[in-house]
């Protein structure tokens, strides 16, 4: 089964909320945990245990594991493995992007069957040209995994690249290129990253999200200010699953598992997008 189909089925069962697993030093301290690989491990496993059976997908932020070197990456490997065992889909937020054999190496690490770092999906940066992502696109297709390509991010600096070209903007070309990768008959596995507060830019740049037929990862929910109204404004008419991502607002409720579960339930109600985009099925 493709990632797009698996994701649609999981969202149909658990809802669309994506929970970020972001072990920031400040969060570790707030939880009473050391900023060490052992602290990361306790943090990550606590979050996974709290959300398993309640959410479709989690998104570990790779940089926050990588900063602890090989031991931090070993924690991430365990988290990815345990998430699979718990029936929770994973998006490795690594934002990889390169050319040729280097991109193939990233694809081998994150999207190959049997790799210790294999996730269900991987975030990608297309700013060396969309076609530079081909090794990852091919690997994901061959192994039933997915990718999320940065298209329209909410950070102020992003506009200096993504908005260039006006009606023929970089962002619009990325949306079109991603849509061309997806089969119109089943839920596509090539998704986009579009900030949940980017509605004005979506309209101004003329992005046709109805043609994507793939999932959209929507960061910026909760602590970053986006709620249901912003999601409705940004993604009305989108043709695939929308995954609102919330991290800090949920994670700040830890380390108590019951409070984490309550925060997840509250976030799920806040981002319910019933009627905005219907997930497809196999």
Give the model confidence (pLDDT) of 49-61 as tens digits. 999 999 999 999 9
Catalytic annotation on 95?
Answer: yes
Residue 90 backbone zone (phi > 0: left; psi -120 to 50: alpha; other: beta):
beta
Q: What is the mean pLDDT of residues 15-22?
A: 96
The pTM (predicted TM-score) of the whole model is 0.94
Q: What is the mean pLDDT of residues 107-127?
A: 98
Q: What is the mean pLDDT of residues 115-140?
A: 98
User: In sequence order, what are the beta bridge partners of 21?
Assistant: 60
Is 281 contained in some domain? no
Is 277 contained in some domain? no
Report the pLDDT value the prediction gives residue 221, as an integer from 0 to 100: 83
What residue numbers bound the domain in which 74 lies?
3-270
Is 278 contained in some domain? no
Counting the structural domains of the chain, the total is 1
Determine phi and psi for 88, rounding to 5 degrees: -110, 125
The model's pLDDT over 71-85, given as tens digits with 9 standing for 90+, comes to: 999 999 999 999 999
Angle subtended by helix axes 37-51 and 69-85, to nearest 10 = 20
Mean pLDDT is lowest, of 21-35, 115-129, 268-282, for 268-282
User: In sequence order, what are the beta bridge partners of 60?
Assistant: 21
Contact 47, 61 (CB under 8 A): no
Is 276 contained in some domain? no
Categorize the per-residue pLDDT at 142 as very low, low, confident or very high, splitting at 50, 70 and 90.
very high
- Position 147 pLDDT exceeds 60: yes
Is 60 contained in some domain? yes
- Position 220 pLDDT exceeds 90: no
Q: Which of 24, 81, 95, 248 is catalytic?
A: 95
If one counts every other C-beta atom within 10 angstroms of the C-beta of residue 50, the result is: 25
Is 150 contained in some domain? yes
- Position 270 pLDDT exceeds 80: yes
The model's pLDDT over 157-215, given as tens digits with 9 standing for 90+, comes to: 999 999 999 889 999 999 999 999 998 778 999 999 999 988 999 999 999 999 999 99
Which CATH number do you get for residue 186? 3.20.20.70
Is 237 contained in some domain? yes
Report the pLDDT value the prediction gives residue 236, as an integer from 0 to 100: 87
C-alpha span between 160 and 155 (Å, rounded): 10
End-to-end CA, the chain: 8
Q: Give the chain's mean pLDDT.
A: 93
Report the pLDDT value the prediction gives residue 274, as an integer from 0 to 100: 56
């Amino acid at each position: 089964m493709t990632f797009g189909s698996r994701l649609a089925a999981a969202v149909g069962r658990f809802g669309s909320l994506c929970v970020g697993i972001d072990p920031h030093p400040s969060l570790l301290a707030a939880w009473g945990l050391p900023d060490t690989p052992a602290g990361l491990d306790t943090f990550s496993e606590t979050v996974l245990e709290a959300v398993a059976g309640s959410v479709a997908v989690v998104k570990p932020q790779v940089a926050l594991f990588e900063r602890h070197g090989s031991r931090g990456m070993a924690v991430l490997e365990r988290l990815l493995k345990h998430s699979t065992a718990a029936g929770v889909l994973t998006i490795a937020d690594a934002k990889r992007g390169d050319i040729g054999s280097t991109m193939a190496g990233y694809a081998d690490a994150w999207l190959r069957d049997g790799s210790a770092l294999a996730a269900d999906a991987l975030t990608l940066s297309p700013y060396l040209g969309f076609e530079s992502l081909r090794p990852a696109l091919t690997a994901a297709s061959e192994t039933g995994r997915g990718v999320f390509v940065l298209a329209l991010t909410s950070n102020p600096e992003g506009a200096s690249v993504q908005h260039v070209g006006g009606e023929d903007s970089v962002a619009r070309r990325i949306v079109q290129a991603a849509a061309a990768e997806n089969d119109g008959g089943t839920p596509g596995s090539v998704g986009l990253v579009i900030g949940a507060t980017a509605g004005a830019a979506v309209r101004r740049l003329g992005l046709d999200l109805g043609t994507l037929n793939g999932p959209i990862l929507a960061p910026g929910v909760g602590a970053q200010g986006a709620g249901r109204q912003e999601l409705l404004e940004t993604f009305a008419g989108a043709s695939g699953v929308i995954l609102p991502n919330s991290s800090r607002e949920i994670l700040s409720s830890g380390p108590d598992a019951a409070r984490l579960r309550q925060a997840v339930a509250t976030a799920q109600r806040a981002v319910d997008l019933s009627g905005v985009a219907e997930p497809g099925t196999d």
